[in-house]
Homo-oligomer: A and B are copies of this chain.
């Protein structure tokens, strides 16, 4: 059996998705082309079309994978402990980690900005990401308040949306100001405000 270098074990399809994801999170859906993908992989654009007939197909496949992976991260956070404060810290760390790689945005934050110019099937996937994340956070916040680890105004659902908004917004602002470190300051302070006294 022939041993393959790690790169070669990854299917072309996966490599396309990987590169497309990186390009979308750093430059946006409208700023990357099949040519960019093909060039980086070392194949031709026609080959990209073999794996994903249209750009919209690629976008949908990418978002399905992204939502699935993000969901797994959230499951991992939920499984390890029942401490809601710790869960929120780990939640924020997911975004922090993304921004730390070439100032990348959350893919759905980026696509939400571009949503009016996206193919409808892609837009639907973006919406699902926010709904799923809202649901997970709502549970964490509900339990945290019940256990008196967390204290906040308004409903857990509204707070969940606000926490997502703070993450997405903090990434956008830190990026726009060209100081990624600003993100931590905002995230940390926001979580501090949610902690019960």
**A68 located at the interface, meaning its Cβ lies under 8 Å from any Cβ of chain B in the complex:** no
Contact A186 B161, beta carbon cutoff 8 Å: yes
| A153-182 interface code vs B (CB 8 A; 1 in, 0 out) | 110001101101111111011011110001
A173-B177 in contact given A192-B153, A193-B152 (Cβ < 8 Å) = no
Q: Name the B residues within 8 Å of A26 (CB-CB).
A: 116
Q: Name the B residues within 8 Å of A103 (CB-CB).
A: 116
Chain B, residue nearest A106 (CB)? B172
Q: A40 to B66, alpha carbons, bound, how many Å?
A: 37
Contact A186 B165, beta carbon cutoff 8 Å: yes
A172-B168 in contact given A114-B31, A116-B27, A189-B153 (Cβ < 8 Å) = yes
- Which of B27, B31, B173 is within 8 Å of A161, CB to CB? B173
Q: A74 to B17, alpha carbons, bound, how many Å?
A: 44
Q: A117 to B169, alpha carbons, bound, how many Å?
A: 19
| A69-93 interface code vs B (CB 8 A; 1 in, 0 out) | 0000000000000000000000000
- Distance in angstroms from A149 CB to nearest chain B CB is 17
Report the count of interface residues on A (CB-CB < 8 A): 50
- Distance in angstroms from A18 CB to nearest chain B CB is 18
- Which of B111, B113, B159, B189 is within 8 Å of A189, CB to CB? B159
- Distance in angstroms from A99 CB to nearest chain B CB is 12
Residue in A105, A159, A168, A176 whose Cβ sees the most chain B Cβ within 10 Å:
A176
Contact B176 A130, beta carbon cutoff 8 Å: yes
21 contacts between A and B (CB under 8 A): A27-B117, A28-B116, A31-B116, A109-B172, A112-B175, A112-B176, A113-B114, A113-B172, A115-B176, A126-B176, A127-B176, A130-B177, A153-B192, A153-B193, A158-B185, A161-B170, A161-B182, A165-B172, A165-B173, A168-B173, A169-B169
